[in-house]
Amino acid sequence: MTTTDTRLPLPRTAWWREAALVVTTGVLCLLGGTIRVEDTLSAPPATAWLVAVTSCALLPVRRRSPLTALAATTAVGVLVQPLGLLLTPPIVAPALVAAYAYVLAAPGERRAAAAVSLAAVALLLASVPLTGDLSCKDASRMGAVAASPLVAGVLGQAVRDRRAYLAAVEERAARAEESREREARLRVGEERVRIARELHDLVAHQITLANAQAQVAAQFFDTRPEQSRAGLRDVVETTGHALDELRATVGLLRQSGDTAEPDGPAPGLSALPRLLESFRLAGLEVAVREEGTSRPLPPGVDLTAYRIVQEALTNVTKHARTGRARVALTWHRDRLTVTVADDGPDGTGPPAADRPPGYGLIGMRERATAVGGHLTAGRRPEGGFLVTADLPLPRRREATDGSAA
């Protein structure tokens, strides 16, 4: 864990803390200066005051240049014994504070360890008695003097690691919050696309049927009034269903919570007869052919198959100008093939109005891709249009288990 900032800014409201630190360190220096070589207590000599004032005056420098403060306070500690004082841990207290500050602000752990180790070695060498033999008391004092900067450095490293850990935790929490917000926005976008697709399928289907029924009613208004009235009744019924489905779909947008469920089940292939009846009322005869053994479908695949048939037949009603279409459902072992085809204009369907190209094919492809299938659409060489969708099927055991559930 490293940092490139070698400055320790002092908040304006903490000036009194800095003053208390300087005074406390100065008192320790004076107490250390009262211990003479004979290990007796007396009034602080002038040299003790000089060492204390000089060392404490260097402490504020650690805020802007911790390494300079460490070097200067260590140099003052090295001059203690030549000035006639005994080098003890209290008298080098400013050097300990500077070592702690430098470890906190050093650009690298190795550099901090090297600087503190050099300071410890310098103080150790400076604590060797100038005259006389080395006693056990002198050895213990020298060990304490040398260990003091190392202890201060270890404490500084612990505080530095703690600060880095808390910063990393805060950063991870911020990233997690951003990730949750991004995922929520993504889900909102996906839900908007889903609702837009549902609205497109609903409006395109029902409005196309109502338009076709209205055209039939207008065509026979003078010659066959009874058939015209029947067509208008079909228009009223179709638009009523459209309003009900539109109200149910838009109602999803008004729900206050995500736990609310739609009032009714989503349509599937079981609703195919009712769908084909609505097209029959609009004048489109649809032949249905089914091959293979049918089995229960997952809800997403079931809805996708229904919407593809609905949209493809809606396009036939809008653009093909024919009165007939064919729907084929082919059940394979691992997929369901849905085919919707027409033979092109035969003069029996209502005239197609000039409309700009819509998004029906795009929506069908998106639906098929969303469930892991694919869809192809295009004109047939012999005339007409063909839509083919291959939708994946679960294994028979999975389908049976889902049906039992």
For the chain, which residues make up each domain, given as ranges? 12-178, 268-405
CA distances from 119 to 36, 68, 129, 148, 299 (A): 23, 12, 18, 10, 74
Q: How far apart are CA 314 and CA 106, in angstroms?
A: 73
Q: How many CB atoms lie within 10 A of CB 130?
A: 9
Per-residue pLDDT, 12: 52
CATH code: domain 268-405 is 3.30.565.10
Nearest to 212 by CA among 104, 322, 296: 322
Query: Nearest 10 degrees: CA dihedral of 104, 105, 108, 111?
Result: -90
Per-residue pLDDT, 259: 42
Per-residue pLDDT, 242: 65
Per-residue pLDDT, 252: 54
3-state SS class at 340:
strand
Where does 295-384 show beta strands of DSSP type E? 324-331, 335-341, 374-379
Per-residue pLDDT, 1: 41
Residue 81, classified by CB atoms within 10 Å of its CB into exposed (0-12), middle (13-18) or buried (19+), is: middle
Instruction: List, for residues 284-339, the tens digit of each pLDDT value.
Output: 889 999 998 888 888 888 888 998 998 889 888 887 778 889 999 999 988 999 99
Per-residue pLDDT, 187: 77
Q: Which long-range contacts (CB under 8 A, 24 or more apart) does 18-21 make?
A: 18/60, 21/59, 21/97
Non-local (6+) Cβ contacts of 109 within 8 A are 1, 2, 157
Establish how many alpha carbons lie within 13 A of residue 211's alpha carbon, considering only the half-sphere containing its beta carbon: 16
Per-residue pLDDT, 295: 86
Per-residue pLDDT, 281: 78
Q: How far apart are CA 289 and CA 264, in angstroms?
A: 28
Query: Nearest 10 degrees: CA dihedral of 300, 301, 303, 309?
Result: 160
Q: Which residues of the chain have pLDDT under 50?
A: 1-6, 10, 13, 37-38, 256-262, 354, 356, 397-405
